[in-house]
Chains A and B, each alone.
Chain A
Amino acid sequence: MKNIFETRLLFWKFEWKGLLFWLTFPLLVTIIIMFAFGAIEEEANVPVGVVLEDDSILAKQLYESIQSTPYVKPFLLDEREAINQLEKQQLDSVFVIQKHFDENIERGRKNNLIKSYSSNLSFTYVPLKELVISYVNGDFTRAQAAFTVEQLYEQYDVENDVNWHELIERSKVIEREQNLLKTSLTFFNSDVVEKGEQSIIDPWTIWVFATFLCTLFIFDWVIKENNKSIQNRLLFSKWSKRYYFALNGLIYTVLMFIIDIVTIIILAIIFNFEITFYLMMTLISYRVTLNMFAFLFSFLFKSVYSFYMISFALLCASLIMSGIIVPIDGLISQFPAIVYFNPFHPVLTINPFNYWFIIAILLCFVSFIREEKQHA
């Protein structure tokens, strides 16, 4: 045991740079991706054309509201130019604020307020339309209310001391001051509470896949040491090949586990998530399963380089299978059995009970028995 550890230290002495790099890589990559993504998400913009055919205050306010919406970058253009740019795909869609916009709203006419142009490559047209509609409908509702109030005064034959614009402003003030109606989303039979703004990616997911790749990369020692020249030397030592590889695998697992814990603590501090008991258990079960898998898998290879390439292919397949590249909820709700084939599903949903763990143990067991027979 002690000897093997010393030999391992000798190996590490020569390759400590690489080892250190791949051990810390999941942490680094998680931080980098999270920040890069945050920056892009913040700066992402949807170019939209706005045509003002009406120069009333109401129309200008509508333009300003669109302008103040995050992610949306409106360009004031004339209609011909806007459509031209839309055809060239320089704009996502175009909204024309029609002539007599404010007049029509004041009179409660719904048609001919806004005209929109979109193409079949307008990816964000639907939410943009919803946005514009919500602004216009706000104006519309306020105008209606103001109209109702004016009617009331007429009905009661009282001199109206507030004019139209004051009424509209008043209802805006009430809306701003009394932001009373809220919505919340919780999940049935689950403690997870939705936390408002949600990023598409979370650090745990990135860490899981970065760790997957790095673990495979680090286990290239199996391939490097599973060759004739080293085997011959092993023959002269007191260790069997089985013992040698199993113990080394254990040493690596312990090392990686220590790094995992440090990584998770750092990530939890930076990204502000809680380290629960379940999370820790999931981490342990993932680490052990992954290491057993990487260990067995690397025995199948003779060349390190093809092992690396296959590792990338596996990573790619797992990303797709877990719905990271394209969300697969729709598919899962139609064919719920899919999740059982995905070894990452329990890990990503933070569930320590992964039956792949048992499969990996069985496989390890079987392969050692086979090894034994070969020696016999």
Chain B
Amino acid sequence: MNVIKRILLFINNYIKQFKRKWIQLPLLFFFPLFIVGLTITLFVFLILPDENNPIKIGIVDYDQSEETKVIIRLLEQSDELGPFIKIKSIEEAEAKEQMLADELSAYISFPKHFTSDLYVGKSVSLDIIGNKNRETESYIVKELLDSIVRHIRTSQASILMINEHAKKLGMSMEEREELIFESFISSFLNVLGKDQLVSEEKVKNDAFVSPIHYYAISIVFILTFIWLMMTYNILYQEEAKRIFNRMRLYSVTYYEQIISRFIVTLIVTALFTMTVTAFIQYSVNFNLYGEDIVRIFVIVFLHSIIFLQILALCELLINSERLRLLSQVMIMLFFIGVSGAILPTTYLPLSIQQWIIYFPSYHSLYWLQQILLKDRLYADFQLLIVYVIVGFVLLSILSIVKERVRE
């Protein structure tokens, strides 16, 4: 009975602390939202290329052979490279000027004797001169050119082979050149028309899955982590150490203090999470049934307790405040990474994937996705419950040991 009384007393104390420093609450609520929101905005900027602002590539042709002229003309007119890439023929001086004016992402130069060197099998290098201000775009250009070059290598090998046989057959120089030119152009046309080779089909994962829904879950999941972490640590008071020594005279234990902090943290985080969830549900609208809400609540509740237990274990094990905070942050990042909230776990190394299924964060997110995206009417809580029990056992042992050690 006394235990509960003391826990209630602590809870009351923490709530008073929040009342006194009420400014902390909105900060606590908005800071993670701000950070996550900013990251998403940047991400959208990254993955949605601007159609009005395509990657502009210049091609400087020092070779001026029939072949390069045809290639450049085809590249200029082709839509195969997508609407985000514009290619134009340009003089080097002009290219440099436009680079300085930041109008060009990169330019490629075809060296002198490019084609004839290719035909006789001399080593040739295509140089890309990138714009330092548009580094990512320059790397995209490099990727693109590399992929074209891979195709051209095959063409070149084929052409050399045709040339070998044509020589053997005693074709005249002129005839051979014409033949080579023809095969070069035809294989280059193959490169441009390469997308024809694959007929594409989109599979709908589920009636309901869209990346927005998928990431909405991840975002709330990550936010919950950050709120738990921040609230729990804000409640930790440095002066508490001295007061706590006095309180121990009244047989107050670490354990009671930690439990009461759990409860306050859970209440605060629940309020925050529900606010955001309501907002997200309003804007993207998940299929939810009454029972689902209970299941989701249980999963998030159990998972939050497990995370808080780990934070508390860190607190008991690590005395240095700086080191403790750092390890708590690291653990949080690890939990988020392993859960698959950012990158689905199928892309992780196989050796990690074997162990991942036992991690509470992966398990929770998996069932949340099953319920919300796949409309499953079932969720498995066993593993989470086991973790919660193990966590409490560990916490009790450690807090008792720690109290003994102090004496």
Contact = CB atoms under 8 A, between A and B. Distances in A.
A and B are partners in one complex rather than unrelated chains: yes
Interface of A: 18, 21-22, 40, 43-47, 73, 83, 86-92, 94-95, 110-121, 123-124, 129-130, 132-134, 136-138, 140-142, 144-145, 148-149, 152-153, 156, 158, 167, 170-172, 174-175, 178-190, 192, 194, 198, 213, 217, 220, 303-305, 308-309, 312-313, 316-317, 320, 323, 325-334, 336
A191 B335 CA distance: 41
A127 to B, nearest CB: 9
A189 B132 contact: yes
Interface in B162-219: 162, 164-166, 169-171, 179, 183, 186-187, 190-191, 193-206, 209-211, 214
A320 to B, nearest CB: 6
Given A119-B202, A134-B150, A183-B126, A149 B35 contact: no
Given A134-B150, A182-B126, A40 B349 contact: yes
B161 A145 contact: yes
B19 interface: no
A190 B106 CA distance: 13
Nearest to A321: B38
A186 B349 contact: no
Contacts of A182: 123-126, 149
30 contacts: A87-B205, A89-B344, A90-B346, A92-B346, A110-B193, A115-B201, A116-B200, A119-B203, A133-B197, A138-B151, A145-B162, A158-B169, A171-B154, A171-B161, A178-B121, A183-B125, A185-B139, A187-B130, A187-B131, A188-B99, A192-B132, A213-B326, A309-B233, A316-B35, A320-B35, A327-B46, A327-B136, A329-B137, A332-B133, A336-B102
Interface in B340-374: 343-344, 346-352
Mostly helix, strand, loop or mixed at chain B's interface? Answer: helix
A118 B202 CA distance: 5
Given A119-B205, A134-B151, A181 B349 contact: no
B349 A305 contact: no
B238 A187 contact: no
Interface residues of B, number: 107
Interface in B245-276: none
A140 B190 contact: yes
Residue of B50, B118, B154, B351 with highest tally of chain A CB at under 10 A: B154
Contacts of B158: 141-142, 144-145, 171
Contacts of B166: 152
Residue of B136, B237, B352 with highest tally of chain A CB at under 10 A: B136
A284 to B, nearest CB: 24
Given A175-B154, A329-B135, A137 B118 contact: no
Contact of B347 (A45, A88, A303, A313): A45
A174 B135 CA distance: 35
B203 A113 contact: no
Contact of B200 (A83, A118, A332): A118
Contacts of B169: 152-153, 156, 158
Contacts of A138: 151, 154
B160 A186 contact: no
Given A116-B199, A171-B154, A180-B122, 4 more contacts: A46-B347, A134-B151, A171-B158, A331-B42
B160 A148 contact: no
A87 B121 CA distance: 47
Contact of B199 (A91, A111, A141): A111
Nearest to B340: A89
Residue of B106, B201, B203 with highest tally of chain A CB at under 10 A: B203
Given A180-B124, A189-B132, A327-B46, A133 B322 contact: no
B236 A137 contact: no
Contacts of B384: none
A120 B202 contact: yes
B316 interface: no
A312 B118 contact: no
B94 interface: no
B192 to A, nearest CB: 11
Interface of B: 31, 35, 38-39, 42-43, 45-46, 49-50, 53, 96, 99-100, 102, 106, 118, 121-139, 141-142, 145-147, 149-162, 164-166, 169-171, 179, 183, 186-187, 190-191, 193-206, 209-211, 214, 230, 233-234, 236-238, 320-323, 325-326, 329, 343-344, 346-352
Contacts of B134: 329, 333
B400 to A, nearest CB: 25
A327 B139 CA distance: 13
A331 B43 CA distance: 10
B199 A330 contact: no
Contacts of A153: 165, 169
A305 B320 CA distance: 11
A95 B199 CA distance: 10
Contact of A43 (B125, B159, B202, B351): B351
A152 B165 contact: yes
B198 A116 contact: yes
Given A118-B202, A144-B158, A305 B236 contact: yes
B160 A174 contact: yes
B153 A320 contact: no
A120 B203 CA distance: 8
- Considering the complex of A and B, which 6 residue pairs feature the smallest CB-CB distances, nearest first? A145-B158, A43-B349, A175-B157, A329-B136, A174-B157, A326-B42
A308 B321 contact: yes
A43 B354 CA distance: 14
B147 A111 contact: no
B370 to A, nearest CB: 10
B154 A141 contact: yes
Nearest to B123: A180
B35 A305 contact: no
Contacts of A309: 230, 233-234, 325
Nearest to B329: A312
Contact of A305 (B141, B170, B211, B321): B321
A110 B118 CA distance: 27
Contact of A120 (B171, B187, B198, B205): B205
A17 to B, nearest CB: 9
A172 B202 CA distance: 34
A333 B123 CA distance: 36
Given A121-B211, A149-B165, A185-B139, A178 B203 contact: no
B142 to A, nearest CB: 5
Contact of A86 (B141, B195, B203, B238): B203
